[in-house]
Chains A and B, each alone.
Chain A
Amino acid sequence: MARIIVITSGKGGVGKTTTSAALAMGLAQRGHRTAVVDFDVGLRNLDLIMGCERRVVYDFVNVINQEANLNQALIRDKRCDNLYVLPASQTRDKDALTKDGVGRVLDELSQTFDYVVCDSPAGIEHGATMAMYFADDAVVVTNPEVSSVRDSDRMLGILSSKSKRAETNAEPIREYLLLTRYDPLRVQSGEMLSVKDVQEILSLSLLGVIPESKAVLTASNSGVPVILDRESDAGQAYGDAVGRYLGEDVQHRFIEAQKKGFFSRLFGG
């Protein structure tokens, strides 16, 4: 039985797809068979971030409508044998994701995979609710910014009332906070909400803090999940987050601003 993880946020542009790609790759690299599923029907992007956009033949909706079987639609990652991508459909309407259909596909994935990562679209419409409905775990991706924090809180409300686990009175979804685009310098100068502030408001267990990093754009430009960039701060931070998800006790990094040297203090920069 696979563990189903939804990557959600409510607000758009906070890093859900970047996070889905990174966590899925991280889990797969540690030897877990992992599938990452794009729920953003009509606006698929996960394939681009994963760098497999030219290998898409069939998609999630084809599988739901039984126009293709799961093995025909799953794209095996070229860098990691344990990782498969199920792309979203680019053209169909969102209602194509029926609850029965999604449940059936996730069931089938659960039989052969250890983890199924669901990349949710932004908003609280059908695609987003379908992505979270079957979840066992939820990673709430949040920027240290008012609208993102508020939307995250909204999503927590939906997770605890409209998910399958909530409806069947099963053990509640495990919820994690992943704070992205964090800038320790701006936090230090009081311009940005701190990790502690956001945690106080949302009271979630902290999966990781991903610093604002040029590596994220570089990675998406080239279709390489940023976690593979082991030199970069963001890549390392995602690596740490995967470890924490798997139960390792990993110290948080990139939360404190680097101390500036005398010369950079004097001359700026």
Chain B
Amino acid sequence: MGLLDYFLRTRPKGSANVAKERLQILVAHDRAERHRPPYLQKLQREILEVIRKYVEIDLSAVSVNYEQGDTHEVLELNIVLPEAARHRA
């Protein structure tokens, strides 16, 4: 890098920072995933099948979250029913 470059260069914020931020998020996510019990996906599918007997919903309507605390585990199920379903019953 010559003297001329030094003056002409506009200092962009290094891309390494972006890399680090992206990695931190990604790795945290990957690690959380790793500690989930393996049956979660099957559980999600089976719950979906049961609900589908009564209400027409798609896969994205069911979310299964798993959190591990120090002394307990939380399994959180979130099912969003479509607008029309309420009138069907």
Seen from chain A, the residues whose Cβ lies within 8 Å of a Cβ on chain B are 145-146, 149-150, 153-154, 157, 161, 187, 189-194, 197, 200-202, 265-268
Contact = CB atoms under 8 A, between A and B. Distances in A.
Contacts, number: 54
Interface string B13-27: 111110110111011
A205 to B, nearest CB: 18
B3 A153 contact: no
Contacts of A149: 23, 27
Nearest to B20: A197
B2 A150 contact: no
Contacts of A145: 19
Given A150-B26, A154-B30, A266 B14 contact: no
B25 to A, nearest CB: 10
B34 to A, nearest CB: 5
Given A146-B19, A191-B16, A201-B20, A266 B3 contact: yes
B5, B24, B27, most chain A CB atoms within 10 A:
B27
14 contacts: A146-B23, A149-B23, A149-B27, A150-B23, A153-B30, A153-B31, A192-B16, A193-B19, A193-B20, A194-B16, A201-B20, A201-B23, A201-B24, A268-B5
A201 B27 contact: yes
Given A266-B3, A267-B2, A153 B27 contact: yes
A182 to B, nearest CB: 12
Interface in B20-50: 20, 22-24, 26-27, 30-31, 34
Nearest to B4: A268
A190 B14 contact: yes
Nearest to A185: B1
Contacts of A153: 27, 30-31
B2 A268 contact: yes
Contacts of A190: 13-17
B48 to A, nearest CB: 28
A265 B24 CA distance: 35
A191 B3 CA distance: 20
Nearest to B17: A190
Given A150-B30, A267-B2, 18 more contacts: A146-B22, A146-B23, A149-B27, A150-B23, A153-B31, A154-B30, A157-B30, A161-B34, A187-B16, A190-B15, A193-B16, A193-B19, A193-B20, A200-B24, A201-B23, A266-B2, A267-B3, A268-B2
Contacts of B34: 157, 161
Contacts of A268: 1-2, 5
Contacts of A193: 16, 19-20, 23
Nearest to A188: B14
B53 to A, nearest CB: 37
Nearest to A194: B16
The 6 closest A-B pairs by CB, nearest first: A190-B14, A268-B2, A197-B20, A157-B34, A153-B27, A190-B16
B31 A157 contact: yes
B6, B23, B31, B34, most chain A CB atoms within 10 A:
B23
Nearest to A149: B23
Contacts of A150: 23, 26-27, 30
